Amino acid sequence: MADLLKEAREKPVVVLGDVMLDEFVHCMKEDSPEPPGLKLWVTNTEYRLGGAANVALNIARLGGRALLVGVTGDDENAKMLRHKLVEQGRYTIEAFLVIDPSRPTTVKTRFLSGGVAHLRVDREKREFISGPVEKQLKVQLAGAIDEVLGSPGSLIVSDYQKGVVTGGSGSLFQHVLHSRVPVYVDPKYRPAEFYRGVDVITPNLKEASELVGRTLDTPQEIEEAGPELLKATVSKAVLVTQGEDGMTLFGSSEDPLHIPAIPVKEADTVGAGDTVISTLALMRAVGATFAEAAIIANAAAGIVVSKVGTATCSPEELLAQFVK
């Protein structure tokens, strides 16, 4: 484990997807005579990297070299997001970002008191990028991939369906599939055929249900869906994450491997999927098997869900999970 983390230092991983800013508004709460009966007093506001930017940060915090490709608006939130990228200091995140003045920077605002979320407000534009913006993003993606070629790395697609990951002939996603590096996808609610040709896909239980067209509730139903997902996406592996029920790994030549979740007293699952795919891709890039990488990703997820809000884990925290 220590050797894998040592090998991960400066290992390049390209992250393409929906870049976001997560805003956390911390409040005091009290009863209100007005509907809905709750009043929040704002005490503090903080900003964290979200979406694809959080995937990149997870890679960087584990020692990897993250190359972030995405789109922002031309607004104050874009300035804050870029500031947060630079603020990471010694953690290497290289930005390959395109500005689209026609859309706002995606922001998710959560109002919390005592670590409990009461409301989430999203500011975004979901229409697909097109024309000059998509062309610029292809150029940026090509530049980032050039940095990975020659060094065993990988490319992560963080698809939150906010307009960046486009499909169809000549689309950005087709550009990804011709990248000549392993492609890992954290999917959203699209037909399974959309992701056809990727190397690894990491749906959560709801996303996996959407991909196969039926609700998956029991372990048996999940195991039966695994081969369908492998076939539909023509991928080498599928990792279905199931929250407190752990995750199940399907490989084209291996039996399903179920990995129990690490027990957490109070879990906050915000950004947990970002941690899973970033850790999985980085560990694979340094030579871990699919099973080893999935077990390590499960441990990393257990660490971040024990924290409030969008979070990451350090190599020291991760190593501690395996030397108890």
Residue 271 DSSP symbol: T
DSSP 85-135: HHHTTTS-EEEEEEE-TTSPPEEEEEEEETTEEEEEEEE---SPP-HHHHH
Tokens 């699209």, residue? Answer: 190
Question: DSSP 3-state assignment of 139?
Answer: helix
Domain of 215, CATH number, reads 3.40.1190.20
Cα distances (angstroms) measured from residue 53 to each of 8, 67, 320: 19, 10, 26
Which of the two residues, 210 and 150, has the higher pLDDT score? Answer: 210
pLDDT band at 237 (very low <50, low <70, confident <90, very high): very high
Render pLDDT for 216-236 as a digit per residue (tens, 0 to 9): 999 999 999 999 999 999 999
pLDDT (mean) for 179-183: 91
User: Does the pLDDT of residue 11 top 80, yes or no?
Assistant: yes
- CA torsion 217-220-222-226 (nearest 10°) is -160
Q: Does 309 or 132 have the greater pLDDT score?
A: 132
Angle between helices 272-285 and 52-61 (to 10 degrees): 50
The answer to whether residue 89 scores a pLDDT higher than 80 is no
| pLDDT for the residue numbered 322 | 85
What is the per-residue pLDDT across 42-71, written as a single tens digit (0 to 9) for each?
A: 999 999 999 999 999 999 999 999 999 999
Instruction: Read off the pLDDT band of 213 (50, 70, 90).
Output: very high
The DSSP code for 86 is H
- Residue 32 domain-assigned (yes or no): no
Task: Give the integer Cα–Cα distance in Å for 86 and 247.
Answer: 33
pLDDT score for 96 = 97
Whole-model pTM? 0.94
Please indicate, yes or no, if residue 111 is contained in any of the structural domains: no
pLDDT confidence band for 99 (50 / 70 / 90): very high
Give the CA distances from residue 97 to residues 100, 219, 220, 244, in Å, rounded to whole numbers and listed in that order.
10, 41, 43, 35
SS3 string, 12-46, reads EEEEEECEEEEEEEEEEEEECCCCCCEEEEEEEEE
The secondary structure of residue 136, as a DSSP letter, is H
Angle between helices 52-61 and 76-87 (to 10 degrees): 10
* Nearest-angstrom CA–CA distance, 182 and 176: 10
Number of domains in the chain: 1
| 78, part of any domain | yes
Parent domain of 83: 2-21+49-106+123-320
pLDDT tens for residues 273-287? 999 999 999 999 999
Report pLDDT for 324.
63
274 tagged catalytic: yes
* Paired tokens of 297: 């990703």
Residue 38 lies in a domain: no
Residue 16 covered by a domain: yes
Q: Is residue 96 part of a domain?
A: yes
Better pLDDT: 82 or 171: 82
Q: What is the average pLDDT across 114-120? A: 89
- The model's pLDDT over 253-271, given as tens digits with 9 standing for 90+, comes to 778 999 999 888 777 788 8
Candidates 22, 186, 268, 274; catalytic one: 274
CA 39 to chain centre: 33
| Contact between 283 and 291 (Cβ < 8 Å) | no
Asked whether the predicted pLDDT for residue 150 surpasses 80, the reply is no
Cα gap 257→250, rounded to integer Å: 7
DSSP 303: H
The pLDDT assigned to 227 comes to 94
Regarding predicted confidence, which is higher, 323 or 104?
104
Mean pLDDT of 84-96: 86
